Amino acid sequence: MLKEKAERLRKRLGKSAKKGFRGYPVGTVAFYGPDDKVATKLVVSIVPAEGAEPDPIRKWHSGEAGQDVRNDAAAVGEALEFLQEQGARTVAMADRIIGCPHEEGVDYPEGESCPLCPFWKGRDRWTGERVH
């Protein structure tokens, strides 16, 4: 039941993203995971105006190892609420997991690959293809 609710909420996010650019503020939605199969982190940010830095930013993490945050109805529902509260007129969302859930410069040194997510080493985050 909860997985089905999460799927309905994810579809709502996807429909919002398919509407294209409708003005600022722009809400960005991104899923991250240790590989391209399981998303363990959801990040939603608000870009208030052209050229502005994203602010505010909210993050959700899956509760258990191997649990996919995309199937977490509470997290996806809260992300939708956040977008509405912030008045996002446009939603931009990739159709895939776009990288490691760990943060460069926070969880591992700048310029290095994440030691916890070897899948992403040498891989293009947008296509999933190996780049070197």
Domain ranges within the chain, ordered by starting residue? 2-99
Q: Tell me which of 2.60.40, 1.20.1440, 3.30.420, 3.30.2000 is the CATH number of domain 2-99.
A: 3.30.420
Q: Name the pTM for this structure.
A: 0.90
Average pLDDT (52-59) is: 97
Write down the pLDDT at residue 10: 84
**Is 90 exceeded by the pLDDT of residue 76?**
yes
- Describe the chain by its helix, strand, coil percentages, rounded to 5: 25, 25, 50
Query: For residue 104, what are the contacts with CB-CB under 8 A and spacing of at least 6?
Result: 110, 111, 112, 114
84-107: pLDDT as tens digits: 999 999 999 998 999 999 999 999
Buried b (16+ CB within 10 A) or exposed e, 35-69: eeebbbbbbbbbbeeeeeeeeeebbbebeeeeebb
**Is 90 exceeded by the pLDDT of residue 11?**
no
17-41: pLDDT as tens digits: 889 999 999 999 999 999 999 999 9
